[in-house]
Amino acid sequence: MVPGTASSASLKLEFRLRPHAGIVSVVRRFVEERCAKLGGDPGSVSRVTMATHELLENAAKYSVGEYVHLKVEFNASCDSIRTQLTNETTPVHRARLRERIRLLQNAQESFDLYQTLMRRSFEAGEESGLGLARICSEGELALAMGESENTVTIVAHSHPPRNSQDG
């Protein structure tokens, strides 16, 4: 393999962003364009783009800190995807995230759970966790969570995750 060819192309991006709704689409489009230029299959590009969008959207809604830290890793040749978002949030939200991710990790069929959560969100009108369920169901990615004091790290990945605190 020749370095730089589409079959060996990989991308690592890191962002430090203020959490607000206006950044979600801008960063999503940037990630999509960069991954598409690597020559990866459109499905993989769509998956990493969607995970980036959903994690940033959650941060825009629930982050209490001044900044969020986003890492995106994409390898076009082996369909390796890893999107990691770290932000400050409230203890109540961390507990809801912990429970939602546990539910998604233990689901026998992520699509069925996604459908159930959609029905519930229309009825209840509260925090639904649909974005996380969408990452698992539509994106076919696994989720992991790390936390410390007032910070939470969510990782959407296509392979077993590395330690969420590593670089």
Residues of the chain with pLDDT > 90, as a percent, come to: 51
6-157 CATH fold: Heat Shock Protein 90 (3.30.565)
Of 108, 127, 106, 94, nearest to 117 by C-alpha is 127
The answer on pLDDT for 128 being more than 80 is no
> Binning pLDDT at 50, 70 and 90, where does residue 167 land?
very low
Residue length of the chain: 167
Verdict on whether the full-model pTM lies above 0.85: no
For the chain, give the mean pLDDT. Answer: 83
Residues of the chain with pLDDT > 70, as a percent, come to: 77
